[in-house]
């Protein structure tokens, strides 16, 4: 069994600030995932420095960030604001790829290949036309680089269940519940999509460890079993 999660950190600024990454790390530690895809881990402007300090991650959560070759900037933690944390034993067997995405604004996905499983973290665009094109690119790349067992997770920025997700017809799309805005969630923007051969055991939205204060999104999670 693996516990997977996705969490948009909102640059570790909570809903209104200040910058306090220790709040986000406390949420991740309480959630206790094996693998978690993170969005908005870097500041947006200038040199794109890390908003989530890499030096604090392992001590606070027991997880490590995968090594991304060609991060957005020399001071960045992720690529286009994204990274994936996982247990050190899993990270030791991981290979990482960047997936450039089309759209009106710079976007990219991060793919991590593990023995028997490929995990793709994403943060899709604000326009539905961009999201559709980005999902088409991601699913096409997944078919080329991954095996039968694929998980895609992140901030899909899609509030509808019946539009914009057409490229995921071959996947089981999990929207555990409203995750945005964190203080009073109304929209299920965060999702996890798993290939049909994976078994979903449980899923949910995590609101513990003061998650409503740590970001404008609540993290979501799913427990899966490999065949």
What distance in Å separates the CA atoms of residue 45 and residue 23, rounded to the nearest whole number? 22
Phi-psi category of 201—alpha, beta or left, where left has phi over 0 and alpha has psi -120 to 50?
A: alpha
| Residue pair 7/14 in contact by the 8 Å Cβ criterion | no
Where are the alpha helices (H) located in 46-121, listed in sequence order? Answer: 54-61, 88-91
Q: Is the dihedral of CA 130, 121, 115, 170 positive or negative?
A: negative
Is the pLDDT assigned to residue 165 strictly greater than 90? yes
Whole-number mean pLDDT of the chain?
A: 95
- pLDDT, position 106: 82
pLDDT in tens, 97-115: 999 999 888 899 999 999 9
pLDDT tens digits along 60-84: 999 999 999 888 888 899 999 999 9
Global confidence as pTM: 0.96
The CATH fold assigned to 2-225 is Deoxyribonuclease I; Chain A (3.60.10)
């Amino acid at each position: 069994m693996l516990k997977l999660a996705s969490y948009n950190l909102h640059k570790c600024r909570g809903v209104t600030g200040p910058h306090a990454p220790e709040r986000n790390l406390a949420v991740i530690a309480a959630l206790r995932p094996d693998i978690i895809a993170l969005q908005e881990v870097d500041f947006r402007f200038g040199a794109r420095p890390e908003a989530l300090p890499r030096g604090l991650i392992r001590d606070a959560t027991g997880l490590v960030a995968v090594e991304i070759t060609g991060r957005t900037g020399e001071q960045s933690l992720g690529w286009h604001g994204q990274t994936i944390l996982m247990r050190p034993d899993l990270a030791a067997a991981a290979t990482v790829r960047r997936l450039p995405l089309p759209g009106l604004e710079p976007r990219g996905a991060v793919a991590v290949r593990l023995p028997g499983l490929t995990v793709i973290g994403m943060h899709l665009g604000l326009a539905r036309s961009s999201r559709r094109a980005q999902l088409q690119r991601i699913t096409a790349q997944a078919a080329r680089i991954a095996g039968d067992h694929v998980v895609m997770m992140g901030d899909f920025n899609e509030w509808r269940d019946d539009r914009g997700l057409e490229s995921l017809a071959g996947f089981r799309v999990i929207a555990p519940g409203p995750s945005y805005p964190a203080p009073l969630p109304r929209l299920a923007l965060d999702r996890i999509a798993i290939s049909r051969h994976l078994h979903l055991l449980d899923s949910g939205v995590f609101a513990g460890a003061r998650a409503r204060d740590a970001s404008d999104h609540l993290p979501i999670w799913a427990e899966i079993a490999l065949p």
